[in-house]
Amino acid sequence: MSFAAELESRLTRYCAIDSQSDAGSATSPSTEVQFGMLRLLVAELREIGAEDVTLTDYGAVLATIPATAQGPTIAFLAHVDTAPQYKATGVKPRVHRGYNGGAITYPLNPDLVLSPETSPELAKKIGHTIVTASGDTLLGADDKAGVAIIMAAARQLLANPVPHGKIRIAFTPDEEIGRGVNPQLPRDLAADFAYTFDGGKVGEIEFESFSADGATVTITGVSAHPGYATGKMVNATTLAAKLLMALPQSRTPENTQDREGFIHVTDMAGGSSEVTIRLILRDFEREGLAAKGALLQDACARLQAEEPRAKISCEIKPQYRNMRYWLEKDMTPVTRALDAARALGLTPSTTPIRGGTDGSRLTEMGLPCPNLFTGMAEIHGPLEWVSIQDMEVATNLMLKIVSP
């Protein structure tokens, strides 16, 4: 069954909507613009005949596809927000039909090139319909590809009922800033297990993610007029530079791979009087994550001892933990997804995610939730792309998973 036209229409329409999240905001959702996607999905779910369609007070869209047979209640999730790391306003999706295997260029950035040399997975997509942005924004396939996949499968299930248990749908805000799962969400979903459509390569069924903490370092210096600062000024920016250079450069995202964790500075703001540094700490194991937190705290303590006139604080907060710790105790949803993939003729893999999803938090909170592929690649930057044909495989995977 072909879903290509519907998936292309949904993806390009959804990606054109600004729905970027903001870690600096305390609201839920963190940005008002996310309501554009959320309210659209409420309307579309009602239009296709979904039941119990709700926009919760914590900013998630929930809906039900009623059971047509006995079976477990299964939930499917995707997030509506796009990553704050790169511009996501004014996205202009471009559709490249019958991809020929060569380089893809961008009208809004002539220096930008997407090719199999820089994105090896692209070499496997000759003949596919490839969707990219236009060069000055990310695309937003992370995770609007997931949203489109779930919506296409939901429409099919409602229009052409086949035997399946109760299906719950959730579209969440703020996944990209680690706040997509409100404590009420597992109870509101009331599912036996769940899946997020937030993965990459076709065939990847992921049940292992990073464990994650977020850190905020605040450095308060001593202000003085620069012309009369001798022996008086303590420059917070200078201390910030010293702190960053004291962290191991071999443990940054660009220098790690596979099962190696990292310490990543996401942003830094301020001036000579005060600087705030935000970091994320990642490791697959709890012990490794704790060691990275201790390393950061030790670097702050040594800098404080070196310059006692400054005030240096380091606050570390947990974000999510490796979903493997819980899923390995009951692999039922993982096995079901692997069997469904094989039934579609795929050779599934269980590569660990060098990141996390809403599924990491849901699993930790008691709702088992592995992650499924969407086909998206080169996410969080202007080279982001996705194959419509890969999205179609993911849509059929959802339909196969819900089959008894």
Residues making up the annotated binding site for Zn(2+) are: 79, 142, 176, 198, 380
Which residue in this structure is represented by tokens 């749908």? 169
Cα dihedral sign, 358-360-361-363: positive
- Whole-number Cα distances in Å, 122 to 101, 150, 225: 7, 24, 55
- Whole-number Cα distances in Å, 66 to 78, 164, 166, 262, 367: 19, 9, 5, 43, 20
Which residue in this structure is represented by tokens 């950061």? 296
Asked if 307 is an active-site residue, the reply is: no
The residues facing 79 across adjacent strands are: 172
Question: How far apart are the C-alpha atoms of 395 and 64, rounded to whole Å?
Answer: 17
- Whole-number Cα distances in Å, 344 to 74, 98, 150, 308, 400: 19, 23, 17, 64, 8
Q: Judge residue 279's burial from the number of C-beta atoms within 10 Å of its C-beta, 0-12 exposed, 13-18 middle, 19 or more buried.
A: buried
Buried b (16+ CB within 10 A) or exposed e, 1-23: eebeebbbebbbebbebbbbbbe
- Out of 22, 44, 174, 175, the active site residue is 175
Write the DSSP symbol of residue 303.
Answer: H
Asked if 392 is an active-site residue, the reply is: no
H helical segments located in 56-140 = none
Angle between helical axes of 4-15 and 141-159 (0-180°, round to 10): 140
- Out of 44, 81, 208, 384, the active site residue is 81
Residue 198 near residue 358, CB atoms below 8 Å: yes
Catalytic positions are 81, 175
